[in-house]
Amino acid sequence: MTGIRQSWLDIPANSHFSLRNIPFGIISTRSNPRHRPAIAIGNYALDLLEFSRSGGFEKSGFTNISVFESSTLNAFAALGREAHRLVRSYIQAILTAGGQFPDILEQNNMLRELALLPLFSVQNHLPLEIGDYTDFYVGRNHAYNCGIIFRGPENALNLNYYHMPVGYHGRASSIVISGTPIKRPVGQILPDPTATVPVLEPSRRLDYELELAAFIATGNNMGERINVDDAEEHIFGYVLMNDWSARDVQAWEYIPLGPFTAKNFGTSISAWVVTPDALEPYKTRPLQRPAEAGVLLPYLQEKKQETVYDIKLQVEYQTAEGDKAVIANVSTQYLLFSFAQMIAHHTVTGANLRSGDLIASGTISGEDSHSYGSLLEKSQAGKVQFIIGQSTRTFLRDGDTVTFTGAADDSSGAGLVGFGEVTGSILKSDF
Amino acid sequence: MTGIRQSWLDIPANSHFSLRNIPFGIISTRSNPRHRPAIAIGNYALDLLEFSRSGGFEKSGFTNISVFESSTLNAFAALGREAHRLVRSYIQAILTAGGQFPDILEQNNMLRELALLPLFSVQNHLPLEIGDYTDFYVGRNHAYNCGIIFRGPENALNLNYYHMPVGYHGRASSIVISGTPIKRPVGQILPDPTATVPVLEPSRRLDYELELAAFIATGNNMGERINVDDAEEHIFGYVLMNDWSARDVQAWEYIPLGPFTAKNFGTSISAWVVTPDALEPYKTRPLQRPAEAGVLLPYLQEKKQETVYDIKLQVEYQTAEGDKAVIANVSTQYLLFSFAQMIAHHTVTGANLRSGDLIASGTISGEDSHSYGSLLEKSQAGKVQFIIGQSTRTFLRDGDTVTFTGAADDSSGAGLVGFGEVTGSILKSDF
């Protein structure tokens, strides 16, 4: 482990919030209900409002500290990546053992007391106020598996699929922070496969979707495009996402304009925004583009070869009966397009992105049933039950809890760059 | 015209902004660039910031006048319909000849001078900051005509079409105020009907869509539903909308998740928000539900029979060459579902609407080629040219201008309840 910087704080080796990470979030505490910015480090949150008010940034060269007075990270995100780099590397410096600024926090008992809060004592809130939310569909295995279920193997992937990151606009108002319960939605469904007239009932096929999502730092003007090689500079950071989906509602409603009420009832995200700089060491080549897919149009061709991350994602399922198991492990390497490509495509016709917009990858699935990012795939559209301890499932039942975790690790001993978790439990419908 | 209230202001008989209307907007002027609320009356805007600061509301019973300090109408909208009714009826009273409060404005030269601004001197801005934007597809003739073009006559209307207001989430960031030019989008299109590999080019099939849209006044909590009979109480008011569309991009991208870059580059709305109270006298029965469509599910059944408006819409086309003609006239009576039904369906799975959200009807078309709300229909997907003076067109050319107007009139002599216009010109692509 020689040459690797360590913190003077005791950071557990399996912590998602190593010195390499420094993710940003919004917290409150019982003693101070005000929503305020923070970073996560080991088992602590560093309260950036308190830290900046106490002069913590005085030696940093970062002068826009008024952004930490805000109840969201929008103002900080909008400063752009140079500002995020400056703040992150300065915070790394003050947290490093034998670092440049021991007087700021390490040797400052009073500020440590005030600003360094045990993670278990903080409540997280949505990190940014979200303008528009866009959901892509670039997990190729998921798209293929769903395509077979909805349209049969011949039409599983439409002709356009390998030429563009397919996506659609989602619902921003119902994006909630990890831990928020999700009420089983009531919607129009066909009561049986031969029916042609719908009923209004609680969804029988409630599902989750395992996704990675990016918050936009700086946008573009309407009528302009973001170049694919510049696009990463527009990203503030990433969160895990669970895009809850009612598959029976979706199957009935999605032709011809796409999913609508099947997905607009709730979408959960993890609390801590992990910066592109923290994830940069975990870039790799995408796995998923077959040779026969042909050549991309130039506006989607990136100069870099390593364009996607290798973040290890995990789905843990806890049943209402109390059984618990990890039912999927998959890497984000299975994304067909990078976030830079999603941004370039999103803006190609001149749509303007704004600071605080959220862009999600679509469900990430691997090659086999232990790597599927949705129950639609795992249960083969309800045909196959899977086992969790003493319980069996095809889709979500009331009282079940789904928890996604994700972290990148290069086994260097420098620690994990992780997201913590995004978790949610299903409440009974009130219908 | 006995018994009809008249204003002491000289309001032209063809004005959209009669004493019956009193629509709300956001204005600025050359002498005062601050964005501030106003209402439109005849050829004037009444500056509500100036009016309220000068004590104009003192006899009104309306005490929340701080909402008029805002640069958008969100705070006013969020007060709910009782507040809108109070303000609108009070403003009608102070503008009525022989009314209850002649001292407020009619006899108050100084306030008239300060607050009553000629419409030609004001600049309009987006009336509300828009959270989520949803576009429905409930113009039955348009859906049928487009369905034939995209999928053939057998599959023109999907099985779900008569059972629910079909809709999808749109892009909020690129909604602009009337008068904003629209740059021709560049996007992925198939270069000819037999091609299977796309090119990146300026759209060759740029189109408009004639729509009516509603701003939400008060929302609902996530996980709750809005009852169809209560839904109108959640509407602040209506605007005309032009949902610009690149048909070649749309045809290539829309399977399976719906239109995305084909529509996210720009959407124009009219400036003045017309309240449901102003439009109430123009309610009528919808025209479009055939008997064979069957019975609606109870959550979409309204107690009222008269659920849609009879607002006369008009499309005026001015070519880059300078020719000009009205190319469509159609009534909003051609909507298959009411806005109340759209809201009930939007929230059926528990999606939360928020104050400032915008909900659009989808394109409104009548029965024949002089009543189509899009060029896709008028040109039969580019197969038929239409004539405007010395010019011919199938889709929009650079330099063309499209202007929608709309007004309701019961021929009582009480004047029009109109929207003014939503207009936009096409700029050359910079590709």
Residues of B with Cβ-Cβ distance to A174 under 8 angstroms: 222, 350-352
Q: Are strands A358-360 and A133-136 parallel, antiparallel or unpaired?
A: parallel
Please confirm, yes or no, whether A169 is among the known catalytic residues.
Answer: no
For the stretch A38-55, pLDDT in tens is 999 999 999 999 999 999
**What is the mean predicted confidence (pLDDT) over B370-396?**
97
A61 within domain boundaries:
yes
B174 pLDDT more than 60: yes
Residues of B with Cβ-Cβ distance to A132 under 8 angstroms: 171-173
**What is the mean predicted confidence (pLDDT) over A11-34?**
97
Domain finish residue from A108, A125, A142: A125
Residues B144 and B115 in one domain: no
Residues B117 and B266 in one domain: no
B14 within domain boundaries:
no
Residues of B with Cβ-Cβ distance to A265 under 8 angstroms: 222-223, 349-351
Among B309, B359, B353, smallest CA distance to B334 is for B309
Given CB atoms, is B97 within the 8 Å cutoff of chain A? no
Q: Is A123 annotated as a binding residue?
A: no
pLDDT at B5: 87
% of residues, chain A, pLDDT over 90: 93
pLDDT at B291: 84
Interchain contact, B196 vs A261, CB within 8 Å: no
Of B164, B168, B185, the CB nearest to A258: B168
Catalytic-labelled residue, pool A16, A35, A84, A142: A142
Residues B75 and B150 in one domain: no
d(CA B295, CA B306): 17
Given CB atoms, is B397 within the 8 Å cutoff of chain A? no
pLDDT at B1: 42
A68 pLDDT band (50/70/90 cuts)? very high
d(CA B353, CA A264): 10
Residues 203-222 of A with CB under 8 A from B: 203, 219, 222
Dihedral angle of Cα A208, A209, A211, A214, to the nearest 10 degrees: -80
Residues B354 and B393 in one domain: yes
pLDDT at B417: 98
Residues A388 and A337 in one domain: yes
Alpha-carbon gap: B392 to the closest alpha carbon of chain A (Å): 26
For the stretch A119-133, pLDDT in tens is 999 999 999 999 999
For the stretch A300-340, pLDDT in tens is 999 999 999 999 999 999 999 999 999 999 999 999 999 99
Q: Is A312 annotated as a binding residue?
A: no
Of A158, A261, A266, the CB nearest to B255: A158
B3 pLDDT band (50/70/90 cuts)? low
B392 within domain boundaries:
yes
Tell how far CA A34 is from the center of its chain: 25
For the stretch A275-290, pLDDT in tens is 999 999 999 999 878 8
B15 pLDDT band (50/70/90 cuts)? very high
Residues 278-297 of A with CB under 8 A from B: 294, 297
A2 pLDDT more than 60: no
d(CA B279, CA B312): 12
A1 pLDDT band (50/70/90 cuts)? very low
Residues 306-345 of A with CB under 8 A from B: 345
B1 within domain boundaries:
no
Sign of CA dihedral B149, B151, B152, B154: negative
pLDDT at B170: 97
Sign of CA dihedral A75, A76, A77, A79: positive
Given CB atoms, is B260 within the 8 Å cutoff of chain A? yes
Residues A117 and A185 in one domain: no
A67, B150, B343 from B134: Cα distances, Å: 32, 22, 10
**What is the mean predicted confidence (pLDDT) over B421-431?**
96
Domain finish residue from A125, A153, A168: A125
Closest chain A residue to B258 measured between Cα atoms? A257
Q: Which residues contact A136 (CB under 8 A, 6 or more apart)?
A: A165, A166, A167, A337, A342, A359, A360, A361, A362
A16 within domain boundaries:
no
Residues B308 and B349 in one domain: yes
Residues B42 and B141 in one domain: no
E strand or H helix at B277: helix B276-279
Interchain contact, B222 vs A187, CB within 8 Å: no
Closest chain B residue to A223 measured between Cα atoms? B183
B396 within domain boundaries:
yes
Residues of A with Cβ-Cβ distance to B349 under 8 angstroms: 185-187, 203, 246, 249, 261-262, 264-265
Print the domain residue range for B308. Answer: 133-427
B307 within domain boundaries:
yes
Residues A116 and A146 in one domain: no
Q: Is A151 annotated as a binding residue?
A: yes
**Under a CB-based contact definition with an 8 Å cutoff, are residues A238 and A272 in contact?**
no
For the stretch B288-323, pLDDT in tens is 788 888 899 999 999 999 999 999 999 999 999 999
B328 pLDDT more than 90: yes
Positions of B annotated as catalytic residues are: 142
| CA atoms lying within 13 Å on the CB side of residue B157 | 20
Residues A113 and A144 in one domain: no
Residues A261 and A310 in one domain: yes
Q: Structurally, how many domains does chain A consist of?
A: 2
Given CB atoms, is B195 within the 8 Å cutoff of chain A? no
The domain that contains B95 carries what CATH number? 2.30.30.230
B12 within domain boundaries:
no
Residues A60 and A99 in one domain: yes
Interchain contact, B348 vs A167, CB within 8 Å: no
**What is the mean predicted confidence (pLDDT) over A247-257?**
94
Domain finish residue from B91, B125, B159: B125
φ, ψ of residue B334 in degrees (nearest 5): -80, 10
pLDDT at A407: 98
Closest chain A residue to B223 measured between Cα atoms? A183
Residues 238-257 of B with CB under 8 A from A: 246, 249, 252-257
Of A164, A256, A354, the CB nearest to B188: A164
The domain that contains A300 carries what CATH number? 3.90.850.10
Q: Which residues contact B167 (CB under 8 A, 6 or more apart)?
A: A257, A260, B134, B135, B136, B137, B138, B342, B345, B346, B362
